[in-house]
Structure 1
């Protein structure tokens, strides 16, 4: 039995589901399902429940150790102050993807490594790892001229890289959207965990706001801390007409109804029944979400990042969210996974 399924409001989930169909309607196993969705005119909750019950089979997601609970975190679209040119105030660069960054799809050579990609650069006749965050910050990468924007806060830029998308307010008051373009291939390391290990923060203090407060108090140690995370994200400017950031599926995310998942376990675009609690709370949060994004820190079966939307309040919720949860994937009938 799916938690709260009979009483759940499916209307916002339906909006997000139709976005998934924009990307999946020509994919095997999805054509019929998405065609049926297009044929529903202003369905009510009863009709939507019937649509999902008749067309999908739910499977609970289980971890490798047999457990059914996992970590549910949150992310959002932050707002930064920036400029298209460097000034005394705006001096931290937001880079486009560099020309020398290679992406090698290992599955094309070794089918057993499907969905695994290697990023690096050519050095002589060898492919070597791309530059780390420390090397990029030290100016070792050929990035001059690849600056899209300059922003006024190194910590805000760091968290923009973690979130993967955001909006930049320019000096004239206009807002521009930026989104994920590529990544340097290095693993994501949590600086919150590093601060806990260093005895600088207690576990309950290691939220986004707690890290920002620490940074404000220790500006001389900030660079060394940020370099503990060797991962580095590059950006692209997005059309201003987009309603929301584009997720890994290639469609705009839906506030509070899109999640980032590990695509090795959950197929991109699929509906996922998420059963968790609100940030710093025991109040149930049971909702039909859509798996429309991925993230460098989102690894494992029962693991999701909940998209809260744009702005300060969304950031508060995202920064506080470290809940336990369970997940059920809804597979279109006929595409169910093989169970041994």
Structure 2
């Protein structure tokens, strides 16, 4: 699900003109004063140096000089940015995480479902074999298997999350990350369950999809999504840091979001006002993307690593409001009259 960052995205140019943009004051952001702006600034610094657009380069230099005090971090954002609502709320917030799974480097009776390396002939943007064709063995016997898991549903959700940690029988942990996809558009299994009448929209969650596939529908249901993700081993990230996001840097639990780069610039701070049973009012950074993350008011919040993070992330499907912090000149340029 997590896509690699294209070179054009580093210029943080939105390719789709928003139908609506409104500039707010920081006082209009619900909970702004109570947030930990130091944590947000730390996450912003993680990827800011990658931004090459003229609006961002000087801000990234200033971010390094902002200090580490709560007052200094908050002042940095308030001085050099303006909050912009792009599109029309309500937003849709979901959650994702980095799974921790059991696996094997070789096929065994228990570990019989592979995750694959990217085939060498696959080029970026090329339309390749579908999920169904790959699951039925079209790549078998080519030595592309990176690891083997004990559950085909875990294979599917590892692809949805785009990264994970696999514990081998000898205790060694293999970390894997996104290496490419087969060029087919993502199709929601949850929406297909609603279409078939087995579930209502409010019943659909990652946990419910997994249970329904395992107990009733079978893995063929997963093949309605033709998109397929390939992996690589990730050795360059320390175990205590989060997985690699679309910008090629580690992402941070509850400080990184996946967004649609057609509307929200990668690397931009994003103020999240997520409603629901567990509301969030927090400044995060747009550091990832996803095949199912489409639209101006759409974000996927990174919840962290492991089962507890997965349990929390899998049930998130909440409304609210998403506000992008943009450099001042860029923010005002988004208004219809440019003023």
Report the TM-score range of the alignment, normalised by the length of the smaller protein: 0.7 to 0.9
For 1:231, which of 227, 230, 235 is the aligned residue? Answer: 227
**Matched residues, number:** 306
Structure 2 residue aligned with 1:131: 129
For 1:53, which of 78, 87, 109 is the aligned residue? Answer: 78
Structure 1 residue aligned with 2:46: 19
The reply to whether residue 81 of structure 1 matches residue 102 of structure 2 is yes
The reply to whether residue 5 of structure 1 matches residue 44 of structure 2 is no
The reply to whether residue 301 of structure 1 matches residue 296 of structure 2 is yes
Structure 2 residue aligned with 1:112: none
Which of structure 1's runs of 4+ aligned residues deviate more than 4 A? none
Unaligned runs of 5+ in 2: 1-27
For 1:321, which of 304, 316, 319 is the aligned residue? Answer: 316
Counterpart secondary structure, 1:334: helix
For 1:251, which of 229, 249, 252 is the aligned residue? Answer: 249
TM-score by length of 2: 0.86
Moved more, 69-78 or 131-140: 131-140
Counterparts of 1:48-127 in structure 2, within 5 Å, are 48-62=73-87, 67-103=88-124, 119-120=125-126
Write the distance in 2 (CA, Å) between the matches of 1:194 and 1:333: 42
Contact between 2:130 and 2:228, CA under 8 Å: does it hold in 1? yes
Provide closer, same or farther for how the CA distance between residues 41 and 143 of structure 1 changes in structure 2, counting only shifts above 3 A. Answer: farther
**CA RMSD in angstroms, aligned pairs only:** 1.7
Contact between 1:23 and 1:251, CA under 8 Å: does it hold in 2? no
Write the distance in 1 (CA, Å) between the matches of 2:34 and 2:214: 45
Contact between 1:23 and 1:250, CA under 8 Å: does it hold in 2? no
The reply to whether residue 288 of structure 1 matches residue 314 of structure 2 is no
Unaligned runs of 5+ in 1: 104-118, 121-128
Shift of 1:144: 2.2
> Deviations for 1:209-248, whole angstroms, at most 9, x for unmatched residues?
1122222323xx4232011110100011101525111110
Shift of 1:2: 1.6
Write the distance in 2 (CA, Å) between the matches of 1:146 and 1:165: 17
Contact between 2:213 and 2:221, CA under 8 Å: does it hold in 1? no
> Deviations for 1:134-154, whole angstroms, at most 9, x for unmatched residues?
111122347721111111110
Counterparts of 1:128-207 in structure 2, within 5 Å, are 129-141=127-139, 144-207=142-205
For 2:328, which of 322, 329, 333 is the aligned residue? Answer: 333
The reply to whether residue 31 of structure 1 matches residue 57 of structure 2 is yes
Write the distance in 1 (CA, Å) between the matches of 2:320 and 2:62: 31
Shift of 1:78: 0.6
Write the distance in 2 (CA, Å) between the matches of 1:36 and 1:176: 37
Shift of 1:21: 1.8
- Higher relative strand content: 1
> Deviations for 1:241-282, whole angstroms, at most 9, x for unmatched residues?
25111110111000011000000000000001111125xx1x
TM-score by length of 1: 0.85
Contact between 1:167 and 1:177, CA under 8 Å: does it hold in 2? yes
Write the distance in 2 (CA, Å) between the matches of 1:204 and 1:175: 36
Contact between 2:38 and 2:74, CA under 8 Å: does it hold in 1? no
Contact between 2:103 and 2:168, CA under 8 Å: does it hold in 1? yes
Contact between 1:20 and 1:270, CA under 8 Å: does it hold in 2? no
Contact between 1:98 and 1:143, CA under 8 Å: does it hold in 2? no
